[in-house]
Structure 1
């Protein structure tokens, strides 16, 4: 996988690139948002720091999402909830707080890549809702609903088990992989995004058990 490491600290950038290269990936390194916007086309996935030379990483992410759906994992020292939620709502696929453990970073890379690769060819229909995992497309009564690849993957699991309670851990394992932390804010933000974009579809929280997409 070709990874574009977008990080203004040269030592951190070199360490990340070195670790990923040893794990079998190919890495390019840039230090600014402008360079990210110019060079992202040649990458499969972006690792994005939020402190860049020329702009805030959130601004860079917003501008990137205007022109590309390339997978983005934020890797930053900002661990506050506001930054996490903002990045995920702007279109980041995942959010990691430094210092990052290599095995977790590799697991997150693999999980995000699987979602974008469309390895599962499946079309799920429940009532007026259709989830196409291959095309990462969601429609309701024939009208397209704009969702991110991560939101689509999460909705697909719920739709596949419509009418049945799916635990939080089952959803995390299915969408993010076994290494994903059950306390991560990413899950809650993406679930909230689905509820906002699909108010006509009921996703019920069953306290202590999980979540259920209600059958129409």
Structure 2
């Protein structure tokens, strides 16, 4: 089985080098781009399995990379950032980032987050084909609603696949955290709610207004 391919988009050569050595020690094939434009070009040419993205790039902000990537790609994106404000995290997740780590971070946590995203992208542990509206295709990492393609990020698709295990059942946020982040999200995190808001917005764009149900203070469900 080929090694998972990781693209690092980071302009600081020393940080990129340390990340590369650590990832290679864990069996990943690593490529590096030192600017946003170079990263976008390499992502298109090499089709990596996951992207590690720094925000402070020399040509344009890393959040612009997320926006441009999400126009036509579902590749998982983990943002590495020194910006630790709630507003910044909300902005990144809304744009389509799948996860973020605030610098400085432990190598073990980064590796764990990468493995979580790669398992989610492969559909591992998330169930098989779900027939209905929306229709989810885990093996192809696709979703559609009445024939219209939905461009969900890997995390958004992962959430829907968990909810689709038992349509109508309310899944608590703690269950979604365990299933998708292996419990890494801290108590009080709004990450799940932000991803759900993105899911709803994308469903509304195709006229699917009542697919997801919120039970205030508890969690979420797909209507049966």
Please report the TM-score for the alignment, with normalisation by the length of structure 2.
0.83
- 4+ residue stretches of structure 1 with deviation over 6 A? none
What is the aligned partner in structure 1 of residue 211 from structure 2?
A: 201
Q: Which residue of 1 aligns with 2:223?
A: 214
Q: Partners of 2:149 and 2:33 in 1: how far apart?
A: 35
Bigger mean CA offset, 46-55 vs 174-183 = 174-183
Find the aligned partners of 1:163 and 1:121 in 2 and give their Cα distance. Answer: 16
Say which of 4, 8, 11 aligns to 1:8.
11
Question: For the residues of structure 1 that align with 2:202 and 2:112, how far apart are their CA atoms?
Answer: 28
Counterpart of 2:193 in structure 1 is: 188
SS at structure 2 position matched to 1:122: coil
The superposition leaves residues 107-126 of structure 1 with CA deviations (integer Å, 9 ceiling, x where unpaired) of: 11111111222345612245
- 1:204 and 1:214 in contact (8 A); partners too: no
**Deviation at residue 23 of structure 1 after TM alignment:** 2.0
Check the 8 A contact 2:212/2:220 in 1, yes or no.
Answer: no
Number of residue pairs the alignment of both structures matches: 213
CA drift of 1:146 comes to 3.3
For 1:136, the equivalent position in structure 2 comes to 141
| Separation of aligned partners in 1, 2:107 and 2:164 | 33
Cross-structure match for 1:52? 57
Verify the 8 A CA contact 1:93 1:150 in the aligned structure 2: yes
How far residue 183 of structure 1 moved from its aligned partner, in angstroms, is 4.0
CA distance in 1, matches of 2:54, 2:114: 15
Structure 1: stretches of 5+ with no match in the other structure: none
